[in-house]
A and B are shown apart, each in its own frame.
Chain A
Amino acid sequence: MTGKRTVRRTVRVAVVAVLSAAMLVPMYIMVVNAFKPQQEILLSPLSLDFATATTDHLKAAWQSTSFPVIEGYAVSLFLVLACNAVAIGTAVPAAYAIARTPKLLFRILLMFFVAGMFVPAQIILVPAIFVLKSLGLMGTLPGLVLFMSATMIPFTLFVFSAYIRMLPRSLDEAAAIDGAGRQRILWTIVFPLMRPIVATAFVLNALGAWNDFVSPQLILGPGSEFRTITTGVYAAVSTYSTNYEIVFPTLLLAVAPILLIFAVMQRHIMGGLSAGAVKG
C-alpha cells in the first residue's frame, strides 16, 4: 500500500517537473539567444558559449528608437495606474449605490453594467474610435485611458457590489445617524473595508492594461510619441521578425521587469485572481 503510494507520488512529481520544464523552455531560449549574434542563434539555438557571448545586441535593443524601453515602461505603468484610478474611483460609489438601494431600477442598472462583461473590448474598438474622434480625444492619452477604463468598469463594479452587499448595513446607518454624509460614509467607512476586493480588481485590471496592445495601437496610432511596452515591441519586432539579433534582446527587455514583478508579487497576483473568481 505505502509502496504503491510512493510510486504514485514519484510519477506525479516527475510529470509536474517535466511539464514545468516545458513551460520554461521558451524563456530559456529567449534568454540564451539574447546574448548571441544571428549566425550563432541559427547554428546552435539551445546553447550559450560564454566565450562568444555578447551584450552588444541587448545594448542595441536598449537604444532602439522604435522601442524606447524606459518610456515604454513609464507609459504602460501610467496606463495601469490611471485606468485603475478611473475604473475603481467610479465603480466604488456606483457599486455602493447599487448594493444599498433595494429598488428594481438599480437591479436593472446592475444588469446593464454586467452586460458589458460580455462585450469583447477590442471588437468594439473600431466604433469607439469614432466616438473618441467626435469627443476630440482620438490619439490622446486621456482618450485611451477612458476607453480602457470603460472596458474595466463592468467587472470591477460587479465584484464591488457583491462585496458591499456582504458588509453589514448597520455600519453605514450608525454613521448616518451620527450625521455623516453619503460621500463621507462611502470613503471613510465602506471603502477601507473593501480593501481585499479592491486589491483583486486592481491586480486583474493592471494585467489587462499592461498587456493591452490593440487599444493603444489603434487609439494612439502607430505614429504616436507615446509607446507602451506592447506597441513598442510591435514597432521594433514586426518588420524584422526573422532578424533574431533584434527579436530576442527586444523581447527579453520587454518581459524581464514584469517577470521580476511577478516573481515578487506572485502570491498576491494569483491570490487576487482566485479571490475574484470565487466572488464573481
Chain B
Amino acid sequence: MTRISTSWRSRAGAFANGLLTVPALAVYAGLLVVPVGFAVYYSFTDYNGFPSQTPTWVGLDNYERIAQDPIGDLHPSIWVTVAIAIVGTLLVNAAALGLALLLRRTTPFNTVARVVMFYPHVLSALIVGFLWQAILGPQGAVNNVLEGGGQSTLPFLADPQWALATLIGVIVWAQFGVQLVLYLAGLQAVSPQLQESARIDGANGGQVFRHVTWPALAPTVTVTLVTTVLSLLKVYDVVLGLTNGGPGDATQNWAYEILAVSFANNDIGLACAQAVLLVLVAGLLSFTIIALRRRAEEGAEAIG
C-alpha cells in the first residue's frame, strides 16, 4: 500500500517537474529544433521561399548539386571553410596557450595585458571586419603608409591567397583572447606542487610543460578546440565586413555561401541542403574531437 502511494507520488512529482521544462522546451524546440526539421525537409525540395509556391519534392537533387557543383562555386567555399577551421583553430590555440603561459601569474602588468588581448571579443565580428578592411584595404592605412614611404603596396585583400591569409589572421586576432581566458582558467587547476617537485627533480621548463602542465591541461584543450572549431566553421560577419567574400569568391566560406548566395538568390532548397550538411559536419567534428581527446583527459585525471 505504502509502496504504491510513494511510486504514485514520485510519478506525480516527476510530472509536475516535467511541467517546469515546458516553457524552455517550447522556445527551444519551436525555434531551433523545428527549423532543423524544416531544413531537412526543404533540402529535398526546390522551394524558393515564396509563400504562394508549394515546395515540390526533388529527392536528392540539391545534395547532388552540391556534390557535382556544376557552376563551380560550392567546392571552393568548402576549401575556404576547411582552411579557416583548421589553420584558424591551430593558430588561435597556439597563440592563446603561448600567451596564457606568459601571463599566468596575476600581476598588475599581466592583468592589463589580458584585458588588451581579450577586448576584440566585445566588438562585434562585423565591426572587426570593417575596421581591418579600412586598415588593410587597397586604400587602407597600411598601404598608404607604405606608399608614403616609397614602397610598393601589399595586396592584403586584393590577391586571392593574401585575402584568405588576411581573413584567417583577423579571425585569430579577434578570437584568441577568449581561448586565452579559458587556458588561464585551466592553468589555475594545474597543481603547483607537482610542477615544483618536477623542477626539484631536475626537470627544465620545457620538460615540466611537456610532462606536467600539458597533460593536466587536457580537459581545457578539449573545450577550447571544440569551441574554436564550432565558431570558425560558421564565421560569416567578419567575412562580410572584411572581404565580402572577395576578391572573386576567394574568401567565400560555407556560411557565406548559404546566407549571401543561396538564400539571397531565393534558393531555399539548396540553402537548406547546405545548412544540413554544415550542421552534420559541426556535430560530427565536435564528437570526433571529444572522442579523440578522451584518452588525453584520462591521463589528466591520473595526474591531477
A residues near B (Cβ < 8 Å) are 12-13, 15-17, 19-20, 23-24, 26, 29-30, 33, 41-46, 86, 89-91, 93-94, 96-98, 100-101, 103, 105-106, 109, 113, 115-116, 118-128, 130-133, 146-147, 149-151, 153-154, 157, 182, 186, 207, 210-214, 218, 229-230, 233-234, 237-238, 241-242, 244, 247-248, 251, 254-255, 258-259, 261-263, 266, 269-270, 273-275, 277-278, 280
Contact = CB atoms under 8 A, between A and B. Distances in A.
A43 B148 contact: yes
A274 B104 CA distance: 14
B263 A101 contact: no
A149 B27 contact: yes
B278 A120 contact: yes
B154 interface: no
Main secondary structure of the interface of B (DSSP, over half): helix
Nearest to A29: B141
Nearest to A156: B24
Interface in B120-154: 120-127, 130-135, 137, 139-142, 144-145, 148
B69 to A, nearest CB: 19
Given A93-B24, A153-B24, A153-B27, A101 B130 contact: no
Main secondary structure of the interface of A (DSSP, over half): helix
Contact of B25 (A89, A94, A124, A233): A94
A266 B30 CA distance: 35
A52 to B, nearest CB: 17
B109 to A, nearest CB: 7
Contacts of A251: 127, 130-131, 134
Contacts of A269: 122
A91 B116 CA distance: 33
Bin chain B's interface residue count.
35 or more
A261 B140 CA distance: 29
13 contacts: A16-B103, A19-B117, A90-B23, A120-B278, A122-B236, A126-B268, A130-B38, A210-B122, A233-B126, A241-B130, A241-B133, A248-B134, A259-B119
A273 B178 contact: yes
Given A44-B148, A133-B51, A213-B237, A124 B32 contact: yes
Interface of B: 13-14, 16-21, 23-25, 27-28, 30-36, 38-39, 42, 49, 51, 99, 102-103, 109-110, 112-127, 130-135, 137, 139-142, 144-145, 148, 173, 178, 181-182, 184-186, 189, 220, 223, 230, 233-234, 236-237, 240, 244, 255, 258-259, 263, 268, 271-272, 275, 278-279, 282-283, 286
Contact of B28 (A150, A207, A262): A150
Among all A-B residue pairs, the 5 with the closest Cβ atoms: A274-B185, A45-B141, A150-B31, A94-B24, A211-B124
Looking at A19, A119, A269, the one whose CB has the most chain B CB atoms below 10 A away is A119
A118 B272 contact: no
A234 B133 CA distance: 13
